[in-house]
Structure 1
Amino acid sequence: MSPAAHQNTFEDHEACFLGVSLDNSSFAPAKFDSMLSWVSRRFTRCTVLIGDSIHRLTLASTRGMNPDQALEHALDLGRQFVHAQQPVLDAYRAVTDFTVVTCSEVQETEEYAEFHYELCTLFTKDDAFRASVEAFGRAYHAKYSPMVSEAERRQRIDTSSAYFLEEFAVFCCLTRRDLPVMVYPGQFITLAEIAAGHHPQAPDELRDLILVSLRLRGR
């Protein structure tokens, strides 16, 4: 829970958004069902955010796809996920108003462009923020791609940084849409640092975001 002060109060909010990462075993059908069940017991409204367009960066970096091919495949994976999970989403709608939005949709908006520019500027000028974002990517690739060359690792860290900056800008947009709580089966160290006040120049929308990190087992 970030910030920890909201441990006992985050459920006072009526709405949240649930982040979905593609090609991620944490979102296997049984686990996704568990997440929706958890959300439905606590919130009356939830936006399910499908990380489609941002996934293109991962595909290009780890699978060697060209940018157009990576984007097309990422968007298709997002459509496949929504189609496959539509029945379980419908099953919970009697309790919670679940809606679906994609990163690609959000990234078409003017507010996204403004947030992304702000975050990229912060990344360039603020050493502490840049170090935090890069450390997040470095830890990920040390775990999932330890055998690559140092040059390849550096390239992947740069790609991860670009991914996080796009992702954080999307989060800003959703927070502005009166979705103050983010639910995700994992941790975002940089977001936790922002919530704790360590990056005061970050957008208000990130500093005000409540992050709930789930630890669920699929049924």
Structure 2
Amino acid sequence: MRTVGSKRDTTWPVIRNTAIQLIHKLGYDGMNVRLLASETNLQPGSLYNYFKSKEELLSMIVCAIMEDLLGEITARLELCTTPVDRLKCFIDVMVMWHTEHRKEAFVAHMEIRNVSKDRYEEYVDLRQAFRTILEQILTDGGKVGDFAIDDFDITCLSILSTLAAIPNWYRENGRLTPAGLVRWHIAAIFRMIGASEAAMAAAKPTAKRAQG
């Protein structure tokens, strides 16, 4: 088992990652501070230097997960210019992240119900940030004629729900690779939003991504 250093910048990631593994395996109710201390080679009392309660630990983990994903999306979108490219990028990041971080996604989406109302509202604010990004992409695409959306609210919710649900059924030994899932979701979502022929053509994957 890994020996943990005393500095917060090295210890906290170990606590966070171990807690994610335990919550995914045992559920929030099954994970406790004593078990977490045992798995990280720390004293139970020393863990409270990092969080005040198990509920706060869960909230910190979930918010960090959401912030990491949001940061990755934001950084990638800065490299895109057109609405088509931005939507492709948004889908790409979401699909790849949800296939590579299934345990984190499970904790963020399924266990957040265990936190208090105040902490849940912080999670809701972060979740809204994803919708705001998607709404802006779809709005910009509609203005230039790339997308033709009948019901904006339902479309946004459907896209986000579809992408967030990937960890529920994705398996590494499944029929499609993550790159294949990216292609499938891009095609499906572009059809959903009534993408123009030009937008559909521009949405086709690059040669590098198409190899997956």
Using the size of structure 2 for normalisation, the TM-score is 0.31
Larger radius of gyration: 2
Higher strand share: 1
The one of the two structures with greater contact order (alpha-carbon pairs below 8 A, sep at least 6) is 1
Q: Normalising by structure 1, what TM-score? A: 0.30
